[in-house]
Structure 1
Amino acid sequence: MSGDERPAGALDGLVVLDLTQMLAGPYASMMLADQGARVIKIEPPGGDLTRRNGPHLDGALRLEQRGYGAYFGSINRNKESVELDLKRPAGREALLRLARQADVLVENYRVGVMDRLGLGYETLAAANPRLVYATLRGFGDPRSGASPYADWPAYDPVAQAMGGIMGITGARRGGPPTKIGPGVGDIVPAMFLAYGIAAACWRAQRTGQGQFVDVAMVDAVLAVCERLVFQYGVTGNAPGPEGNGHPLLCPFGLFPAADGYVSLGVPNDRFWALLVARMQRPELQHDPRFASNDARVAHREEVDELVSAWTRRFTKQELARELGGEIPFGPVFDARDIFADPHFRVRDMLVEVEQPGAARPLTVAGTPVRMSATPGAVRRRAPMVGEHTERTLADFGFTATEIAALRP
């Protein structure tokens, strides 16, 4: 179906002013846009500097041509772009005028930036009481708890480190901490922020009252590490890296195959019986060292070696035939595997969008949220710098003369 023929998303009609940059903030507003919200990205003169980040398809327009690289294209799809200079009084007044008609404003500047511009929460809430004003910062906004680190800049590795997830991740038990590959220090907070915005909008719809929504990156990462919290709270022992296993279940983790690795999970004795039957070692089910999960955890090294000795005899594909559908199992995929596997195509998780200037499209990750009546989707590419300035401002009641006066 064409973009116009697709059913409207569940957030159709929601108007979001997006003053975010880098990864975390734009990912949150992207989630709203994927579900049908009208997300208007407010960019400074010349555009968001992350537009220059690669990689770039051959021929793709660069920032100096008002284009963007794959980084920007991935997380700013489905959005409009309006170019405003918030350092000028006219730009600030224009944003205030937009905010009076919007449902949501989301920003991830450092603490105090919007206040110094005269566009802080209290000012905008007075102009539009139903506005949901959402922020995402490394250590949160002082309005909802003044962290001693409130003024510290924070990026993904900082959030991973201080939020606890890095300290329980590592290649071997008791080894050094390890950064998680994708930017979970950005993306997890973004997900919580999108959730908080949706919750606040539901209340605003019923009461006419907006509110301040604040997510700290480190708080969001800690929330994902909920096991760390209750384990320490109960035992007083600080969990550390667990390697590729699980501290409470066995066997549970990564195991070698002849051509890579597979993930295998045995959360209970029923699955253990199925596994040892596949291994043609049924006697292991009744061996007192392995008969229960607690016993297997106590003899973890022996269990892991028994299972590894069996799995490394087979390729990932052969193990999939042996275990797939019977036991919690999955081969460890790299990008080549993901692009070749039918699951991700049939689920629309690999989406091709136009890349201005390039001869071929850019492939971006789709939305994993599926709704039967209002399906989310990647409907259109990320915008060029200021691509929608005139049309969007006109929709908000700006005259041609007023629009011209705002041009950088």
Structure 2
Amino acid sequence: MGALSDLRVLDLTQVLAGPYCTMLLADMGADVVKIERPGGDLMRSKQPFTEEDDPYGGYFQSVNRGKRSVELDFGDESDRADFLRLVEKADVVVENYRAGTMERFDLEYERLRERNPELIYASIRGFGDPRTGETDRQGRPAFDLIAQALGGVMEITGHPDGPPTKVGPGIGDLFAAVLHGMGILGALHHRERTGEGQYVDTAMYDSMVSMCERTVYQHSYTSDVPGREGNAHPTLFPYDAFEAWDGYLVVAAFSDGHWQSLCEAMNRPELVEEYPTGDDRLEDRERLRAEIESWMADKTMKTVLDKLDGLVPCAPVQDVSDVFADPHIHDRDMLVSVEQPGSDETVTIAGTPIKMTETPPEPGTRAPLLDEHHESVLREWNR
């Protein structure tokens, strides 16, 4: 039994932020029913595929596992009535439409609350909802790239002589999704104590500002506008990526003790005396970076890691094939095999990083086919 196995969630979301949030709830046991518009989630048709006629690709599979699918047309009176009956039995409704979309169908929070006063209604949008703070950006479309650009992520990512760069993973979606899940659980805890439902609202833009908390306090304290520093850290050194003979690795030796261990491994004890404090090292970081790079240049990553292991925080820079080969990842069940409909193959998706001793989350089954559970959901939820 999962920690949320008594929870019923109507998931009206698509693409990435909303589906990732509801996937986390499904992993913890919630009955997540994906309410899809005619034709289904836009991401069903996105590659990669195992076969040309796959009913959905890896994008959809990765963040919709463990859910059930019901296709409804909110423009159809009968389908709206079916949805409202499901709302009466739901604990949570999650949607990530533009602000005002649900109002067009007369299915906004206030209408749904009339049918179910204890309902948690949770919207995840680019710029939030007017109910929690009205702005002139609401109603505009937003994706990960927009959120990263506006929130300041791109301006501090990349090398100083290069252009603003987005972070590889879709953190504008994913971080907002995790925060949204936390908000939903907080609202459920409040309802448990009071019987009161409420509206939960998470904006992708807001989430990126929260993620860039360092730039906020830096600007407040110093009036500086932080820029791109590559893999370096603005206030710590060494905290960077360095090139060995056969690849890159990272070293985080900014404490005095770690710095001493690094200098001993390099056979450069005089650097400990010359740069005894973090501020000393930060002030002369370019010279010290060159010293570290020179020491590593003719050594393999394994040689460097063996010298530093257990003494200095360090790690190789891995690609995904390295991740697949890492025993730690398998020991932690972070790679999960699921069925790919229409194929004899199984595919691998990322497991859940949330570990619990009494109610361990389970990645669940494959993502659903479109409308696969229409009859069973309407029958079970309307008993």
Superposition TM-score, scaled by structure 1 size = 0.92
State the alpha-carbon separation in 2 of the partners of residues 367 and 318 from structure 1.
Answer: 33
1:372 to 340, 357, 370: 357
1:76 to 64, 85, 88: 64
Counting matched residue pairs gives 383
- CA shift, 1:148, in A, is 1.3
2:87 to 88, 95, 99: 99
1:122 to 98, 101, 110: 110
- CA shift, 1:136, in A, is 0.6
* Structure 2 counterparts to residues 5-404 of structure 1, below 5 A: 8-58=1-51, 61-62=53-54, 67-172=55-160, 175-287=162-274, 290-397=275-382
The 8 Å contact of residues 58 and 359 in structure 1, kept in 2 or not, is answered as: no
- CA shift, 1:243, in A, is 1.4
The 8 Å contact of residues 81 and 386 in structure 1, kept in 2 or not, is answered as: yes
State the alpha-carbon separation in 1 of the partners of residues 342 and 152 from structure 2.
Answer: 42
- CA shift, 1:316, in A, is 2.2
Q: Which residue identity does 1:25 align to in structure 2? A: G
Q: Which residue identity does 1:268 align to in structure 2? A: S
Alignment RMSD: 1.2
State the alpha-carbon separation in 1 of the partners of residues 145 and 323 from structure 2.
Answer: 26
Q: Which residue identity does 2:338 align to in structure 1? A: V
- CA shift, 1:318, in A, is 2.3
The 8 Å contact of residues 138 and 218 in structure 1, kept in 2 or not, is answered as: yes
Q: Which residue identity does 2:314 align to in structure 1? A: F
Indicate the percent of aligned positions where both proteins have the same amino acid: 48
Cα shift readout 1:360-408 (whole Å, capped 9, x = no counterpart): 211000110100000012121101111111111100227xxxxxxxxxx
State the alpha-carbon separation in 1 of the partners of residues 4 and 296 from structure 2.
Answer: 46
- CA shift, 1:145, in A, is 0.8
- CA shift, 1:317, in A, is 2.3
- CA shift, 1:273, in A, is 0.3
- Structure 1: any 5+ residue segments left out of the alignment? 1-7, 399-408
- Structure 2: any 5+ residue segments left out of the alignment? none
- CA shift, 1:334, in A, is 0.2
State the alpha-carbon separation in 2 of the partners of residues 41 and 324 from structure 1.
Answer: 46
The 8 Å contact of residues 108 and 135 in structure 1, kept in 2 or not, is answered as: yes
The 8 Å contact of residues 21 and 48 in structure 1, kept in 2 or not, is answered as: yes
Cα shift readout 1:349-369 (whole Å, capped 9, x = no counterpart): 111101012222110001101
State the alpha-carbon separation in 2 of the partners of residues 210 and 308 from structure 1.
Answer: 57
- CA shift, 1:269, in A, is 0.6
Q: Which residue identity does 1:299 align to in structure 2? A: D
State the alpha-carbon separation in 1 of the partners of residues 73 and 258 from structure 2.
Answer: 60
The 8 Å contact of residues 86 and 382 in structure 2, kept in 1 or not, is answered as: no
The 8 Å contact of residues 242 and 248 in structure 2, kept in 1 or not, is answered as: yes
| Structure 1 range deviating more: 318-327 or 292-301 | 318-327
Cα shift readout 1:299-344 (whole Å, capped 9, x = no counterpart): 0101111111112222222222222222111100001101111111
State the alpha-carbon separation in 2 of the partners of residues 297 and 397 from structure 1.
Answer: 64
State the alpha-carbon separation in 1 of the partners of residues 212 and 83 from structure 2.
Answer: 38
The 8 Å contact of residues 137 and 216 in structure 1, kept in 2 or not, is answered as: yes
State the alpha-carbon separation in 1 of the partners of residues 219 and 367 from structure 2.
Answer: 44
What SS class does the counterpart of residue 286 from structure 1 fall into?
A: helix
Q: Which residue identity does 1:12 align to in structure 2? A: S
Q: Which residue identity does 2:323 align to in structure 1? A: I
State the alpha-carbon separation in 2 of the partners of residues 87 and 315 from structure 1.
Answer: 63
- CA shift, 1:259, in A, is 1.5
- CA shift, 1:175, in A, is 4.4
**1:402 match:** none
The 8 Å contact of residues 15 and 43 in structure 2, kept in 1 or not, is answered as: yes
Cα shift readout 1:25-53 (whole Å, capped 9, x = no counterpart): 10010111111111000012232121000
Superposition TM-score, scaled by structure 2 size = 0.98
The 8 Å contact of residues 191 and 197 in structure 2, kept in 1 or not, is answered as: yes
